[in-house]
Structure 1
């Protein structure tokens, strides 16, 4: 009888292990991150801190993530981003946390900074993001990356850079064809916005994951001025936030996962650790299983 019970427990244990899903459950230990330089601009080395799963055994999907900080601060070594990188890597992803030019370091990015300057700020960061993605794409074999499955994301300023690069390339780049080899599988935005949702078309409609507070005081939840500047201020610039972007993706029959936080402000730009299981489930369904998912969650 004891032998039967032991065999039964062993069988149940084996079934539990096989039920775990790659890219959803924590299956891998994490290698020490490797820092590589992806570009040097104006004498500044721009880097990727690359996290890889141990013994993955094959090319892994890649998540590239840009930190926030108002284009004046922040680092790929921010504790929240590092924690996220380790969580995602344990599920079978490689994760690249990138640095980029902080062109507003020590300067304002508010209503006293002219709108055209804000667009140039977005443009420089979007270019750095695309250059980091291009570097990883070019060196995919070296780093064991599946270049057909690149997921990109950012928080606050980083989200603005990524969203504008992915959904507004013709506005951001003089020669968008330079990046034509880069195809992204999904985009993650934590309290981000872009310059003009009208440039989001069927050709560049990448599935999106969005987190945003309805009362965000810096980056509009829907369509409104950046920082809610009055129209007589130099920094008056209309941006399209998560709600407006999701409405366009819905119109284009593109997948999205949209978390709305009622009455929340810009704190929603923080890493949504409580909701990461749903994020990984969405990615598994949409990126790997090629399902269409359109989900709106109000909290």
Structure 2
């Protein structure tokens, strides 16, 4: 059964893309078939696996923006599998155990797509808003639903640091939501704001989409589970093997208020080195970092379910 998880935070620079790339790579290293979906028009996840010239040469006109544009205003979109590519650098590392890592790439033109989707959605006070909302917000969910026959175990969606139409579409398409957060002074405020928005969105979305004459929408389809907060870019040091005292204070505060993962991802230049090599850091030379990511993936699989 294919499981879809969205990685989201309204704040930028918290390591969303690093988390998505490394969790996906570790799942593939374990023998899972994994699809990464880049919903950020800055395309950082895409460029974690492809150099810009390779994107133009290998993925031109096969990005998620092209998929949305091919859908038009009425259709559910062409087969999303036609827009999937396989980064070559990671293949040797993932195929040893029968795993696979694929990606639906992004491009700057996705920004224009998001703007057009907002126009298509229209005014919430309109009598036809329910139909338009169903058509626009559910389009990605419909596309991923058709992918289930392709045998992927997991889809991980990397979103922009906002709560606009593409992020909301990803949440609707998901079984679980993963929130990366850097342990800093305003982390609690940011996480609370995000979880409140998630709660309000799921409630409003169910009011709009939860009932239909054919009964095609169910509560669980429209309300993905909150898998928890993952601490990223955690600073280590301060005379001990774990987080610095200031980071640990924030971590303890967040854990009193929200579901959190035990495993964390430390701040390290190895992650940038991995991007430069087009190989996630889980395949790198630092066993401590790889161990942390593997512990994180253990938790992720147990939380999202088989």
TM-score range for the pair, normalised by the shorter chain length: 0.3 to 0.5
Larger Rg: 1 or 2? Answer: 1
TM-score by length of 2: 0.36
Q: Structure 1 or 2: larger strand share?
A: 1
TM-score by length of 1: 0.37
Q: Structure 1 or 2: larger helix share?
A: 2
Between 1 and 2, higher relative CO (CA 8 Å, sep ≥ 6) is seen in 2
